[in-house]
């Protein structure tokens, strides 16, 4: 019975530990969520405070060299933002234009006509009946269009 008691105790301890870890995870996740929400609220209020200070500085109701520097930096960033937004609109409005298909190259006579003396019964030059390309009399296929010639 000692072995079964030991196994039972080990299982119970494992279950207790798993329960503890699950509860700890839930608690830390909830607390992390609350911390994040409070940080978001602080950031929101700081943003609101900064916006109000910016407006008061622009209206001449407060004077501060530090705030004036920050205000000038905000103005520069807003100008850059407006320019980038315009650049973005232009980029979004661009449309791909298909390049015109290249014209097929004119048939050229790039195959030499004379390979040496042909057999007595074969003409020296043949002309393709499809494209008119001149080719050696020994050719079986037109090198220009690929048509079988006899």
Q: What is the pLDDT of residues 68-88, one digit of tens each?
A: 999 999 999 999 999 999 999
Nearest to 114 by CA among 128, 134, 144, 142: 134
**Can you read off the two tokens belonging to residue 38?**
């409070």
For 103-150, what is each residue's pLDDT tens digit?
Answer: 887 666 555 555 555 555 556 788 888 988 888 888 888 888 889 887
Please indicate, yes or no, whether residues 14 and 66 belong to a single structural domain of this protein.
Answer: yes
Q: Is the pTM of this model over 0.75?
A: no
135 forms beta bridges with 126
**Chain centroid offset of residue 105 CA:** 37
Q: pLDDT at position 28, please?
A: 94
DSSP, collapsed to helix, strand or coil, labels residue 148 as strand
Whether 85 is in a domain gets the answer yes
**Pair (24, 72) in one structural domain:** yes
Whether residue 66 sits in one domain with residue 126: no
CA distance 49 to 35: 21
Q: Number of folded domains in the chain?
A: 2
């Amino acid at each position: 019975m000692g072995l079964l008691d030991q196994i039972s105790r080990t299982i119970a301890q494992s279950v207790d530990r798993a329960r503890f870890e699950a509860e700890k995870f839930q608690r830390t996740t909830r607390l992390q969520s609350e911390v994040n929400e409070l940080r978001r609220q602080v950031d929101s209020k700081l943003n609101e405070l900064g916006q109000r200070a910016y407006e008061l500085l622009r209206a001449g109701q407060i004077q501060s060299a530090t705030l004036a520097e920050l205000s000038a930096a905000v103005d520069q960033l807003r100008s850059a933002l407006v320019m980038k937004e315009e650049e973005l609109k232009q980029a979004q409005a661009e449309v791909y234009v298909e390049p015109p298909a290249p014209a097929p190259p004119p048939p050229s006579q790039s195959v030499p006509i004379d390979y040496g003396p042909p057999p007595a019964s074969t003409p020296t030059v043949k002309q393709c009946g499809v494209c008119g390309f001149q080719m050696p009399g020994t050719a079986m296929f037109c090198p220009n269009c690929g048509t079988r010639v006899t």
